[in-house]
Every structure is written in structure tokens, then in C-alpha cells.
Structure 1
């Protein structure tokens, strides 16, 4: 059985919907008979998305870090289709920098990746709850928000915040008497999108396509999963599970932070991974 929010004639909204995972979701929802609204900030990407999705889709330019833009998006969706049944807070950017990096870069990444999701949750959530129909709020997180590898610390912090927010949101939603809206946390693997392309022109063998990620997401929702932990062609779920457990073990076992990348613990981590 599919989730009752995913039904012909229902309304879906995807931020960051003009490319990558967001566009793949929009196309899949269209194929399933849903009305689709996408939001993005790039005029060029929005133009390509209009062509891909056709005139039946609502295409809106919006900066999700701006609360007024998200409120205007909700108004536009209601005017065109009615109250949404699915909201996918998917817009995301990277390259925020390390802990001692530039504040402006941090603000840019946190604004889009975390406050963009907060805005989506707080603007769309009450309308969906009040509508009384089955609903899904799907927030796009990242494995980097769980295992927090060294490098783009700003990105890791933003995605760790999305994880905590979505967990608390689902707790709140399930305690609403008669509530029919659920939250899900999408945790993609290595996906071939604008965030991962870099200077490469050809998809690496290890990467999944956005379409594979959305197919996995829908299958996981059908199973009732909250944590939609996606594999890819390089890393399967057992490896992800051990990486996550090791990261939590840094606290429980009083190891140094990020011990997975600490020279004194490299052998121990590899043994744990193989064990």
C-alpha cells in the first residue's frame, strides 16, 4: 500500500525542485497523478524545469531562507491547487567552510539548509494539519549531518539541525489527536547532482541517480520508515550503520571527536567496520 498522501489529484510542493533530487521528485509525483509545485532560486534552472514539467506544474522563484518567500509560495500553491498534501523541504547548498571559516559562508549555508527547512515546516505544517487530510513533510538531510566528517563543517551543522528538527517534528505530529500529517527524514547517499558534480562531466559509477533516490524514498515511505537511509553504488546499509554507530561511540566510549579520522584510531575503526 502506498502512503495515503500520495494519491492522484493530491498536491505536492518541492523546494529546490528545479534540479537534482527535487526535480526527480517532481517528475515522479507528476507521473503518479499528483499536482506539482516547485520552488527554486535560479532562473536558469527554473526555465529548464518549466520545460521538463510542462504548464500543468506551478513553478515559483523563491529563496527559502526568506520567510516571506515561503509564505508567498504557500499562497501561490493554495491559489492554484489547494492545500498541499506533500511538502518536500529539499533546497540545499554546500561549501560553507570549516569551523574557523568565513561567517558569510556559514550564514548562506545555514540560511538555506536549516532555516529554509524551518520556514517550510512552520509555514506549510499548520496549513496541512488544519486541512485534515493525510500529509507528508519530507525533509532532506544528509549522512554528513550524522557522521559529520571533517571538511565542510557548516554543511554538516545545517544537516545535523535538519535531523534534529525532523525528529522533533514527527514527535509533535504523532501526538496531535486525530492528526494525519507525518514527517520523514530523507538521508541520501552519493547522488549525482549539482552538489556533487564538481568538475566531473560523467557520473561516477559509485553514484546513484536522483531518480534512484526518489524510487528508494517512495519504497521506504511505503514501508513506514522515518529514517530513509539511502545506499548508493559504493556504500550499502550495513556500512552506513557501522559508521553511524562508531560516530555515536565517540561519546559513549569517550574517544576523541571524529575519531574515525584520528590517526590513533584508524586501525580500530577499520576492525570495527569489518567485524
Structure 2
């Protein structure tokens, strides 16, 4: 098992946004199964109460209703978390929204970015000191992305752009913390078709056969953390990993950076010492447009 998964242990503290339902709640239950202390964050107070009542844990479970797009809410949360001397070991920035709008609807873009992008940035800004230059004790930061931020299908420009930005930010965070705090691992969680209110529920009462449950996503996150992977690209019952790889490769056929995802390397591998020789050999033998000619 990779050291990354060792963060799941009794007495460690996990803070999860968007924890009132779906993937966030499933990851909270995963943490609870390891007797971790939980801080659940969501903008829906009623969902938080339901989530708390559904969790069985030997650790503590606290809830905070807030807007992740509000810096003042994050400041208040930081004060509440730290007033007893608590330091986070596990931070999952998961909160997200999906809206539809058009090119004349500025509020559509602002609302998407306030939650999906700045909700992550605010969380990193607020709790970064908990994860930088820490001791040898394993810590972890998880950010929930989307396949739409990688394959970029048409139909929801603001959402796709926000998730593409999240992918880039999380890659940079991983690269920087690998140098300043090697015991802190960073992971980009990318669910497939998942039966939740945001990505697959849509008012349906029963999970479609092709979709994964949120609990399957949480279990897959644990497996990939155990394997030491940064990219956690979840399959589902309709789309397997090989199909995902082909779609991502097609979208970015001549982009060497996409190789980090499809070959499960660490992000920004071309700038990492352990990949420099391999990257140079690859670029020396690369012919632009070769894929289209094959």
C-alpha cells in the first residue's frame, strides 16, 4: 500500500466540502470507517443533518453550513476548526454545481466559477498551512474534477472550463507540495457516470444500470490512493478505463501532457526529476502528426 492511503487512520481529521450527499458523503463514510474525525461542509443545512445521522463513526462528526465561494465563510470555518488546536490531515474539496446558460448570461459563468473553481481555491488558500512542511505523518488533499474538464464535450462551456481549470490547479498543487511537503499527497478525483443529484440522479429514484454508486467512487479513490496514483479517473458500468484513455488521447492527440493521465504518471512529469530521461527520449523521437498518419 502507498503511504497516501495511510492517511485513513483513527484520530486523523478530515474536512470534506459538498459532504451533504453524493460523492462527498460517500468519502465521509469511507473516512468514518477508519475512525477518523469528520468536519462535513455543505450549503444545505438539512442535508448536513441527514448526512450526520447516516454516519456511524468512533470519531467525532461536526457540520458547518457555508458557501464555499465566500471567503468570509472560509475564514469563519478556519477559526472554528483551529480554536481547539485542530490541524487537518485530509482535505477533500468536492463541492460543485452544474448549471446551464448561454453566451449572453454572465451570471451563469460567475456562479459556476464561484463554486467549482473558487470553492477549491478558497479551500486551498485557507488550509494550505496545514499541509505544507508537515511532519512525516501522511496527509492528503483530494480535489473533485470531471471528465468534461478533460475531454471537453460541447454543451456546457462554463462547467467544462471550470473543471479544466481545476485539473490544472490540482496538478500544480501536487508538483509544489511534492517538493515542500513530500508526506502530503494530492489527488484529482474524476468520477464517471455516478448516481448523485449533480451527475446522474436527475430525479430518478433508482440507479441506472450503467452508473456507479457514490460508494463505488469512494472505494476506487481508496484503491488508487493505495496505488500511489494522482489521477483517479473512475470508470462506470458503461465506460471502462481503456475507453476513457482512447477518448482522452483522441481529444489531445498531440499533447504530451495528456500522457500523464492515460499512462497514470504523476502530473507535470516532464518537469519531475524521475521522468526527465524518459521525457527527453520521447520528445527526441516524436513526430508531429504521426498519430493522424498511422
Aligned to 2:261: none
Separation (CA, whole Å) in 2 of partners of 1:207 and 1:19 = 16
Does 2:190 align with 1:187?
Answer: yes
Measured after TM superposition, the shift of residue 143 of structure 1 is 0.3
**Alpha-carbon distance between aligned partners in 1 of 2:87 and 2:189, rounded to the nearest angstrom:** 22
Alpha-carbon contact 2:89-2:130 (below 8 Å) kept: no
Structure 1 partner of 2:12 = 10
Deviation at 1:181, TM superposition (A): 1.4
1:113 touches 1:158 (CA, 8 Å); kept in 2? Answer: yes
TM-score by length of 1: 0.86
Matched position secondary structure for 1:39: strand
Cα distance, 1:130 vs structure 2: 5.0
Residue equivalent to 1:218:
222
Aligned to 2:138: 134
Aligned to 1:171: 175
Name whichever of 192-201 and 27-36 sits farther off: 192-201
Return the offset for 1:129.
Answer: 1.9
Structure 1 stretches of at least 4 aligned residues deviating more than 4 Å after TM superposition: none
Q: Structure 1 101/147 Cα, relative in aligned 2: closer, same or farther at 3 Å?
A: farther
Aligned with 1:103 (options 84, 103, 106): 106
- Look up the SS of the partner of 1:58 in the other structure: strand
Structure 1 residue 44 displacement after superposition: 1.9
Q: What CA distance in whole angstroms lies between the structure 2 residues aligned with 1:36 and 1:43?
A: 16
* Partner SS for 2:7: coil
In structure 1, runs of 5+ residues without a counterpart are: 253-271
What is the DSSP-based 3-state SS (H/G/I as helix, E as strand, rest coil) of the residue aligned with 1:4? helix
2:17 and 2:40 in contact (8 A); partners too: yes
More off after superposition, 125-134 vs 58-67: 125-134
1:37-84 residue CA offsets vs partner (Å, 9 max, x unmatched): 110001221121122236930100111111121232233223357101
- The residue aligned with 2:231 is 227
2:151 maps to: 147
Distance in 1, matches of 2:27 and 2:219, equals 9
Q: What does residue 73 of structure 2 align with?
A: 69
How does the TM-score come out when normalised to structure 2? 0.80
Corresponding residue for residue 59 of structure 1: 63
How far is the alpha carbon of 1:202 from its aligned partner? 1.8
How many angstroms apart in 1 are the aligned matches of 2:23 and 2:160? 19
Which piece of structure 1 moves more, 117-126 or 233-242? 117-126
**SS of 2:229's equivalent?**
coil
Match of 1:114 in 2: 117
Supply the distance in 1 between the matched residues of 2:255 and 2:230 (Cα, whole angstroms).
24
